[in-house]
Amino acid sequence: MTSPKPGRPLALVTGGSSGIGLELARQFAVHGFDLVIGGSSDRVEDAAAALRQAGATVVPVRSDLATYDGVEAVWKAVQDTGRPLAAAALNAGIGIGGAFIDTALEDELRMIAINATSQVHLAKRIVPGMVAARSGRILVTSSLSATTPTPYETVYGPTRAFVYSFAESLREELLGTGARRGRASVGPRWWRIGRQCLGDRHHRRPV
Ligand SMILES: NC(=O)c1ccc[n+]([C@@H]2O[C@H](COP(=O)([O-])OP(=O)(O)OC[C@H]3O[C@@H](n4cnc5c(N)ncnc54)[C@H](OP(=O)(O)O)[C@@H]3O)[C@@H](O)[C@H]2O)c1
């Protein structure tokens, strides 16, 4: 990592290479944060290069959040900066659409690992430091799918409901500690995950 500019806080954005996460990372960058961003493909390097144009020091981490080691790699990248984490956007997620009777179990177990397990795992690493520092912010990307039955996204919706409940519960626990978390319940957008859930022939209007 190149030397941080004095006074710039550090933010982590998982899924920072695309879609909502890339925009969150861009907002952090233009508002004076340096960044660690995660992604599963080499797109994360391109995103880091783009974000550096906004003046941020950016560490890209390519790892698979479906695995324990992949989550630990993200956390190690944060720790390797030697800097306290001021904010974390736990945003990475994938979608799987289709009739439950047709979808593959292994794909859905992998989605649960990315969308739910990795968020708990990372929060477990992040929260103690924020509580000790009495400072920090965690943003969890959920979905309107958390609040309604999601037929043909029958496992995706519950992964969003899990993080919705997790974020709300964590928020209550952290009240008064100086560490805070927020929940972003995003509506359907015409980004990659919309296509993953719905298929290319079924368009949802961006909201
Ligand atoms: N788009 C919507 O309509 C919508 C609506 C409600 C909620 N959301 C939620 O918003 C979040 C982001 O969605 P999006 O639409 O921005 O999705 P997206 O454009 O597909 O971006 C997903 C991000 O997650 C990363 N990622 C995927 N699998 C990963 C893995 N195994 N390990 C590490 N990183 C992985 C991707 O990395 P690569 O780019 O390297 O693959 C990418 O950076 C998700 O949690 C989703 O549930 C989205």
Number of domains making up the chain: 1
Mean pLDDT score across all residues of the chain: 89
Q: Is the pLDDT of residue 201 over 70?
A: no
Q: Is residue 121 part of a domain?
A: yes
pLDDT band for 197, please (50, 70, 90 cuts). Answer: very low
- Quick one: which H or E segment has residue 180? strand 179-186
pLDDT of residue 2: 46
Judge contact between 12 and 39, C-beta under 8 A.
no
The tokens of 60 are what?
């890209």
Indicate if ligand 1 lies below 6 Å from the C-beta of 141: yes
Atom of ligand 1 nearest to the CA of 16: 43
Pocket test for ligand 1, best of 13, 14, 17, 18 (most atoms within 8 A of CB): 18
Indicate if ligand 1 lies below 6 Å from the C-beta of 186: yes
pLDDT of residue 11: 98
Q: Is residue 193 part of a domain?
A: yes
Q: Is residue 74 part of a domain?
A: yes
Q: Is residue 25 part of a domain?
A: yes
Q: Which residues of 35-64 are buried (b: 16+ CB within 10 A; e: fewer)?
A: bbbbbbeeebeebbeebeebebbbbbbbbb
Q: Is residue 2 part of a domain?
A: no
Q: Is the pLDDT of residue 148 over 70?
A: yes
Q: Is residue 20 part of a domain?
A: yes
Domain hosting residue 131, numbered range: 10-198
Q: Is residue 178 part of a domain?
A: yes
Q: Is residue 205 part of a domain?
A: no
pLDDT band for 202, please (50, 70, 90 cuts). Answer: very low
- The CATH number covering residue 176 comes to 3.40.50.720
- Quick one: which H or E segment has residue 10? strand 10-13
Task: Note the pLDDT tens digit of each residue in 58-100.
Answer: 999 999 999 999 999 999 999 999 999 999 999 999 999 999 9
Q: Is the pLDDT of residue 119 over 50?
A: yes
Least confident piece of the model among 2-6, 47-51, 195-199, 203-207: 203-207
